[in-house]
Structures are given as structure tokens and as C-alpha cells.
Amino acid sequence: MGYRDLVKLWKSRIIRFDPDINSQQIGLSSIDLRLGYLFTKQKDAKGYTVDPFEEDFDPAPIIDTVDLTKQKLPIGQVPSFILKPNEFVLSRTLERVTLPLGLAAQVQGTTTGARPGLSIHATAPHIHPGFLGSITLELKNFGIWDLKLVPGKRICQLIFFRVQTPVSKKEVNAMSSYHNQVTPYGKRQVGVMKGQPN
């Protein structure tokens, strides 16, 4: 979709953001989103084996989440997260996104972030129709410099695709694994990924 399509979808609130975006976040064929304040790191648990596809897998005991809104800083300083070389963390977009049933999207990095080595998603860029929530970002520093990540700055872009046959709300509720989650690495919703909705 191009710039005019995206402006129309945003102004008509077919695509919604909370907090809302501004017009400068809309590009030629994508919409920029900003970095949120939560960062989740894996604990150093040597010898611990994880099966992330196990239905009842709960990552809570082996992760730490930092909320930068609780960071105490001198007046005038802004919160930031330093991503070390080869470090992997999860974060979220500042905006909560609401997609209609007839649109899907993909989250991609930006050239500005990619050039010093920042990857925005490891392998999961796709966002299904009917999605509601902040978008989890799988951040990795492939460069050799420490990277300073500042909440509120643009960090990724959404590219939108029309779905030929819109899905139903029932299908969304039955088949969405991480719908409307509030942390970067929450437990997968029970009952999803078992097949088609009833």
C-alpha cells in the first residue's frame, strides 16, 4: 500500500494506534512505529533446555523484564537501553495497533537501524488480520558497537497487505497465539495452534 492509502486508512481509523501516530510517521509505503519502555532478557541458565513449542511453556521463571518508566534518572536525562554486541532482547512498540479483519501487516526494521547492525525481528515479522496489541520486537545487535535504544524514537515500520477474503472475529479469537498481550514475552494463549476454529 502506498502513502495515500495509508493516510486514508489512518484518518478513517480503519487502522488504529494507541497512542496515536502523527502524519510524519507515514512514509511512502509504510508506517513507522516507536520503541516502547519494556525490555525482556533471558536469564543466564546454563544447561537449561527450553521447548518453546510446548503448549504449557511459561517463560516467566527464566526471563527478566526491565520497565524503563521506573528508571530513576537525573533531571533532563531520558531513559535508554544499551544493547550490547551479539545481545538478544525482546521489546515492544510504544503504539498498540488494531488491524481490521481485511488487513495483515509485516514489521520490518529501518535502514537507519540496520546499518550499525540492529535487527528488529529474528524470524517473526508477520502480523495477522484482527491483531490487537503492541508488537513484540526481537532485537539483536549484529554489530560491534553498543547500541543506545531510546523509547519513543522510531524503530520499525509496518507494511500492510490486503487479505482477499477477510477473516472473522471468531477465527481471530480461535487462532491468535499472542493477541492483546502486555509484556514482550508472555505465555502463549491456551487452545491456539490446535487447528481450525469450531
Beta bridge partners of 139: 89
The 8-class DSSP code of residue 99 comes to -
Active site residues: 138
- Tell me how far apart the alpha carbons of residues 146 and 175 are, in angstroms, rounded to a whole number: 38
Contact indicator for 70, 76 with CB cutoff of 8 Å: no
Contact indicator for 147, 82 with CB cutoff of 8 Å: yes
For residues 24-46, one letter each, b for 16 or more C-beta atoms within 10 angstroms of the residue's C-beta and e for the rest, the string is: ebbeeebbbbbbbbbbbbbeeee
Beta bridge partners of 103: 162
